[in-house]
Structure 1
Amino acid sequence: MEETGTGTGTGNNGDAPPPVKRRRLLRGEEKRPGRGERYVPPPRKLNPGVSFGETHFAETCYYFEGGLRKVRPYHFDFQTYCKGRWVGKTLLHVFRTEFRAQPLDYYCAAARAGRLRLNEQPVRDLGVVLKNNDFLRNTMHRHEPPVTAQPIQILVENDEMVVVDKPSSLPVHPCGRFRHNTVIFILGKEHNLKELHTIHRLDRMTSGVLMFAKTAEVSKRIDEQVRQRQLEKEYVCRVLGEFPENEVTCEEPILVVSYKVGVCRVDPKGKPCKTVFQRLSYNGKTSVVKCFPYTGRTHQIRVHLQFLGYPIVNDPIYSMEAWGPNKGKGGEINKTDEELLRALVEEHRSKQSLSVLDISEEDLKPIMGSEECDRSGCCTKPVETEPMPADSCRPEDSEGQKEVEILSSLQNSDTRPQTHDTDSEGASSSGIRDGHSEEKDPLCEECKIVRQDPSPKELVMYLHALRYKGAEFEYSSKMPDWALEDWDEN
């Protein structure tokens, strides 16, 4: 029996084709593309929250040199789903406007080398238009800055909490250029302490008491104490000058000048905050001061001390000449925010200590007023609105020759860089040590730069979290050496 359409009266006379019965899509099912359209698979279900396991810890390893903890360079996949603002834009547009850690020429070469994948398929045409749920994977060669070799001391560990004494220069969790050189990763890799919940954070350059919860329930319970202002915090620092003997309270509001550089200042438009200070000692040049922050604003203690005219002795931001002859005392800066940031960067450049700020060269360019970020002018040149063929990314003249050399070196290595032999002293140049290969990546500009390591002394700031007390706990660390009354800076 021949099936006929319904409601059309068509038979075998060919007057009209029978209607097509379309199947309804099931929940979560993706509509298949039409002919010539690019198919985007449905998104994968990702585990909520931040969790690091053995696969992450095995990416690279540590070694110690010159009083520093270092991480061997390693390859890492940056992964992200297409954001709403990217839909309908070309991949070229996204790299130009949002992925500025590398110049555009790098991404062009990386695409041809197979380092860029869209929905797990190599993508060589940066003119491809992104769709909702597109999954982008970008393999990069990571170089992490060194941190102090001072170990993380575990103060308390029980069924609910892990409390450590954090060294200066070490971030709490992965951020910016730091991943393995962080408290979270070191505790996981060296102490088998995993799935920890961050209760509070300390600035990278601040040392001292740092608490983690082992369960979400404990974390929520202490978070509630923080919101109810039931958590007592006590810090100690060493500041320039003779701090007043009487108790000093500062309630100046604080405004963030730059999240990228990490700079704040006192400003009436800022957020309200309060810090109480008590002097412990004075040695004729510097004072040791206890600090009791009643709020938790970014850089609160450091900014308030600067405003009072007693900045922390070796503060890499708030004790710099860039703030003016009085180093920002009383909020007198006499610079715009842009001028201040440029002056801070220039001062660190002159002292060859720019690494302390932890910002990339690409982030520096808009601060320093560079006319072009790279050959393609990714920050200033208008973005293309039409899909572009892959060849449109090809650099010309000397840059084109450079790319030819890069691609040639990749042909026999399956897009992964070759491993070099170790040197006689086991230094950090390249080679295989401790079972891990330290590689030179022909696409990586950082591999071609020889950077001077900071000294361990440069990585210590004289600000320390001494005590944290809650409704049912109290954790303290010992007084740091630089806070002792008989301490000699020399």
Structure 2
Amino acid sequence: MAEPGPALSGAEEEQPAPGDKEEAAPAPKKRRLAAGERYVPPPRKLSTGVSFGPEHFAETAYYFEGGLRKVRPYYFDFRTYCKGRWVGRSLLDVFSTEFRAQPLAYYRAAARAGRLRLNEEPVSDLDIVLKNNDFLRNTVHRHEPPVTAQPIQILVENDEVVVVDKPSSLPVHPCGRFRHNTVIFILGKEHKLKELHTIHRLDRMTSGVLMFAKTVEVSKRIDEQIRERQLEKEYVCRVVGEFPEHEVVCEEPILVVSYKVGVCRVDPKGKSCKTVFQRLSYNGKTSVVRCLPRTGRTHQIRVHLQYLGHPIVNDPIYNMEAWGPGRGKGGKINKTDEELLKALVEEHRSKQSLDILGVSEEDLNSNAENNDCGNSSDRTKSVQADPTNENSRPAEDTKDPKSNDTAACLLTSDPNLGALGKNKELGSCENQDGKTGDKSWEEKDPLCVECKRRRRDPSPRELVMFLHALRYKGAQFEYCSKMPQWALEDWEE
């Protein structure tokens, strides 16, 4: 009996038999364009998964000053595909109606400087009519608000998860005006921890335990526990006044007042929720309270404490005079939602603290969608919303770190921009290699109003809110942080 011959390799098995014709995939037919019709390339396939890498981390650098972590200004591309409602409208019309943070003179100057591109071609005429699948790119000189210089402490790192103690003032991932001053970027740049998957999120001003999964499989497993409500969270905070000694349960429904500013209130039309509170200590002025959220509504802990008449001592939203003499106790506000938002903004504007509120003048002036952290297009996969987070929508994992759903510059307007851009090279941000420059902090940008503006830096104390995620427990894990200094019994105000 003959021995079997050597097995064929996979490549050999795939070869067609002699005389057979290998069928190639039919090439897509390119439609003949009508006279004067503009060709629009098909959409590109976006990368999947979390993919921030060295090229993103190298966009700029950190420096530290006055107890703050600061980011050197840098050039950045905001990218988006044409929205359905933009089709058939001119680029000028879209800028004038949906991106009003800048005057039209800015966009004209930016076009002359080569910063506006349509399907990777420089825009020379803002009257060009947009078509489906048009790809827009706007290069801006980007400035980020400062955050605390307090380092991120890594509590646990293994093959499945990374658990950190997040300082107050740091967003979890890129959103709004923040990109490098975020937990994701700092972990990548300073701890070489990349491709992390967000499991849950904490409010920018909330400190404490924060988990990331290292793989998609781990992320899905914990997501399932979240959906089944198998996770337990414990927070600690310091509130105004003498909180009752007995256990307090608040089940008032919560309604979102503003997605952009990130404000909620108790309202019968809101979503049902439940928080359990227990006082830990009282020093004669303020109380330390344990908080156990049973649901995950936006700002749940903060709104319920305000309703009970014991807002967090330094809450930049729910312990402000804008809510009236009672600071919103019992849901009594005596203002319409519009009046409340206006009062909150004006109070922070008078203190030059809009950055602490989490918005800028540009956000307030612009109709551009997705300017707030809860809906940044740097993220596309939903994860659980945290009951303390500052936005009314769930946080999401990053899918395409180079993209952003905002096609307009997020800088303030300047009446002198009409004189800029007459020279086509003026304000060009490309170096000899045609790439965005990595030395942009060494000189001021002629189109950037932020370069001319002097902002008051917040003090490190202003960047702390007395709300801390103390413990996060699941079916097979439990992670805790140390009690913050302001929650200790011997802490002095």
TM-score between the two structures when normalised by the length of structure 1: 0.82
> Residues 363, 413 of structure 1: CA spacing in aligned structure 2 closer, same or farther, 3 A cutoff?
closer
The reply on whether 1:42 has 2:42 as its aligned counterpart is: yes
1 CA distance for matches of 2:442 and 2:236? Answer: 40
The reply on whether 1:123 has 2:137 as its aligned counterpart is: no
Q: Secondary structure at the match of 1:447?
A: coil
Contact 1:281 1:287 (C-alpha < 8 Å) held by counterparts: yes
Equivalent position amino acid for 2:114 in 1: G
2 CA distance for matches of 1:350 and 1:362? Answer: 16
- Match of residue 65 from structure 2: 65
> Residues 186, 144 of structure 1: CA spacing in aligned structure 2 closer, same or farther, 3 A cutoff?
same
| Among candidates 407, 415, 434, match of residue 428 of structure 2 | 415
1 CA distance for matches of 2:26 and 2:134? Answer: 21
> Residues 319, 195 of structure 1: CA spacing in aligned structure 2 closer, same or farther, 3 A cutoff?
same
1 CA distance for matches of 2:88 and 2:442? Answer: 39
Long gaps (5+) in structure 2? 1-24, 368-413, 432-436
The reply on whether 1:469 has 2:482 as its aligned counterpart is: no
> Residues 99, 50 of structure 1: CA spacing in aligned structure 2 closer, same or farther, 3 A cutoff?
farther
- Match of residue 212 from structure 2: 212
CA offset at residue 29 of structure 1? 4.3
- Match of residue 372 from structure 1: none
Equivalent position amino acid for 2:418 in 1: E
> Residues 197, 402 of structure 1: CA spacing in aligned structure 2 closer, same or farther, 3 A cutoff?
closer
- Match of residue 154 from structure 2: 154
1 CA distance for matches of 2:47 and 2:62? Answer: 28
CA offset at residue 215 of structure 1? 0.7
The reply on whether 1:343 has 2:357 as its aligned counterpart is: no
Contact 1:30 1:42 (C-alpha < 8 Å) held by counterparts: no
User: For each residue in 1:463-484, what CA deviation from the matched residue of structure 2 results, as whole angstroms up to 9, or x when unmatched?
Assistant: 0000000000000000000000
Larger-gyration structure (1/2): 1
- Match of residue 440 from structure 1: 444
| Among candidates 450, 464, 481, match of residue 485 of structure 2 | 481
1 CA distance for matches of 2:65 and 2:71? Answer: 11
Q: Secondary structure at the match of 2:451?
A: helix
CA offset at residue 49 of structure 1? 3.8
1 CA distance for matches of 2:202 and 2:359? Answer: 19
CA offset at residue 416 of structure 1? 2.7
Q: Secondary structure at the match of 2:93?
A: helix
2 CA distance for matches of 1:104 and 1:59? Answer: 28
- Match of residue 31 from structure 1: 31
Equivalent position amino acid for 2:306 in 1: Q
> Residues 468, 89 of structure 1: CA spacing in aligned structure 2 closer, same or farther, 3 A cutoff?
same
1 CA distance for matches of 2:463 and 2:246? Answer: 31
| Among candidates 418, 443, 451, match of residue 403 of structure 1 | 418
Structure 1 stretch displaced more, 98-107 or 72-81: 98-107
Equivalent position amino acid for 1:125 in 2: D
CA offset at residue 53 of structure 1? 1.0
Which runs of structure 2 are paired with 1:74-85 in the superposition (5 Å)?
74-85=74-85
1 CA distance for matches of 2:287 and 2:471? Answer: 20
Which runs of structure 2 are paired with 1:284-323 in the superposition (5 Å)?
284-323=284-323
2 CA distance for matches of 1:417 and 1:444? Answer: 15
- Match of residue 459 from structure 1: 463
CA offset at residue 97 of structure 1? 2.6
Q: Secondary structure at the match of 1:97?
A: helix
1 CA distance for matches of 2:442 and 2:324? Answer: 44
- Match of residue 190 from structure 1: 190
- Match of residue 12 from structure 1: none
Q: Secondary structure at the match of 1:448?
A: coil
Long gaps (5+) in structure 1? 1-24, 368-397, 419-431
The higher relative CO (CA closer than 8 Å, separation ≥ 6) is in 2
CA offset at residue 264 of structure 1? 0.3
Q: Secondary structure at the match of 2:421?
A: helix
- Match of residue 99 from structure 2: 99
Q: Secondary structure at the match of 1:407?
A: coil
Q: Secondary structure at the match of 1:297?
A: coil
Equivalent position amino acid for 1:288 in 2: V
**CA RMSD across the alignment:** 2.1
User: For each residue in 1:395-423, what CA deviation from the matched residue of structure 2 results, as whole angstroms up to 9, or x when unmatched?
Assistant: xxx95x7533x225x555671399xxxxx
2 CA distance for matches of 1:316 and 1:154? Answer: 27
CA offset at residue 96 of structure 1? 2.0
Aligned-residue sequence identity (percent) comes to 79
1 CA distance for matches of 2:120 and 2:204? Answer: 35
Contact 1:74 1:143 (C-alpha < 8 Å) held by counterparts: yes
* Matched positions, count: 418
CA offset at residue 364 of structure 1? 2.4
1 CA distance for matches of 2:452 and 2:29? Answer: 47
Contact 1:61 1:436 (C-alpha < 8 Å) held by counterparts: no
2 CA distance for matches of 1:29 and 1:450? Answer: 55
User: For each residue in 1:205-254, what CA deviation from the matched residue of structure 2 results, as whole angstroms up to 9, or x when unmatched?
Assistant: 00000000001111111111111111000000000000000000000010
Q: Secondary structure at the match of 1:77?
A: strand
Contact 2:112 2:424 (C-alpha < 8 Å) held by counterparts: no
